[in-house]
């Protein structure tokens, strides 16, 4: 990468860092060093199960279109339960707007001995869905709010919330465009805006496609 491009990327990431709490910024712009295996924990009959597979397909297509050689890895299901109280606590640490540091938390005990890289928890609890880096070795966690709680129970919302949080898990931050997938805090965008009578993904912005290419360039290769 040229000095000019490095400088542009650094300025872009710095502007994001100044716009978001440190707890959120900690994961933005940080790419994976390998294609992560995705582990889904949740009830087998949870209607969000197939939405995880579709979200992975969405992001792999977006990465292809951006010219990146990075891809999300295989998706598999695993047994394991993370208590709702623990997810509520972690969610508060991640989304707390007054937080000025990276959350001092670790991967939940229930997940530490499960092989895998990116954990997607389909919870029944009520909390703000979140994504975070909570463990050594670049293991990451996505936790999705209970399907029974609004606005998750509205048409098309869960589909986009899952894709949105996986977007954070691969390194993208929020924007303020309420017509796009990655809109969110500190702008007033909230998941209810994803409501739609027909299933669809909200789009990425052109800048986000450029960011994907910067984080995962065409010559990206696993480092381990």
Is residue 220 included in any domain, yes or no? no
SS3 assignment, position 94: helix
pLDDT score at 19: 33
The encoded tokens of residue 70 equal 């990075």
What are the pLDDT digits (tens) for 39-87? 999 999 999 999 999 999 999 999 999 999 999 999 999 988 899 999 9
Cα 88–Cα 93–Cα 99 angle in degrees, nearest 5: 150
Q: What is the pLDDT of residues 117-161, one digit of tens each?
A: 999 999 999 999 999 876 666 789 999 999 999 999 999 999 999
- The enclosing H or E element of 40 equals strand 38-41
Rounded to an integer, what distance in angstroms lies between the CA atom of residue 53 and that of residue 122?
13
Residue 10: per-residue pLDDT: 36
Assigned domain for 56 exists: yes
Could you read off the pLDDT of 189-217 as tens digits, one per residue? 999 999 999 999 999 999 999 999 999 99
DSSP letters spanning 159-175: HHHHHHHHHHHTT---B
Quote the CA–CA distance of 2 and 5 in Å, as a whole number. Answer: 5
Quick one: which of 141, 134, 140, 161 has its CA closest to 47? 161
Q: Give the residue-averaged pLDDT of 162-176.
A: 95
pLDDT at 223: 82
Report whether pLDDT(115) > 70: yes
Looking at the structure of the chain, the number of domains it has is 1
Q: Which residue has the higher pLDDT, 32 or 94?
A: 32
Residue 221 lies in a domain: no
More confident: 6 or 109: 109
Assigned domain for 223 exists: no
Domain ranges, residue 147? 3-215
- pLDDT value at residue 137: 63
pTM of the model: 0.85
Per-residue pLDDT tens digits for 18-36: 333 333 434 566 789 999 9
Terminal-to-terminal C-alpha distance of the chain: 21
Output the domain CATH number for residue 58. Answer: 3.40.390.10
């Amino acid at each position: 990468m040229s000095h000019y491009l490095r400088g542009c990327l650094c300025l872009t990431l710095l502007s994001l860092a100044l716009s978001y709490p440190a707890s959120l910024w900690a994961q933005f712009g940080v790419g994976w060093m390998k294609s992560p295996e995705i582990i889904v924990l949740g009830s087998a009959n949870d209607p969000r199960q197939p939405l995880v597979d579709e979200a992975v397909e969405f992001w792999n297509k977006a990465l292809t279109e951006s010219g990146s050689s990075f891809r999300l890895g295989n998706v598999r299901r695993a047994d394991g339960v993370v208590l709702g109280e623990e997810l509520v606590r972690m969610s508060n640490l991640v989304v707390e707007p007054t937080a000025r540091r990276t959350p001092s938390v670790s991967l939940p005990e229930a997940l530490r001995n499960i092989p895998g890289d990116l954990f997607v928890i389909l919870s029944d609890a009520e909390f703000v869905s979140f994504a975070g880096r909570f463990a050594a070795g670049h293991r990451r966690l996505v936790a999705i709010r209970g399907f029974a709680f609004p606005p998750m129970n509205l048409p098309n919302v869960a589909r986009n919330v899952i894709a949105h949080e996986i977007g954070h898990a691969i390194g993208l931050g929020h924007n303020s465009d309420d017509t796009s997938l990655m809109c969110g805090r500190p702008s007033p965008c909230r998941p209810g805006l994803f409501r739609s009578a027909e299933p669809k993904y909200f789009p990425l912005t052109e800048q986000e496609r450029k960011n994907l290419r910067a984080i995962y360039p065409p010559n990206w290769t696993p480092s381990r």
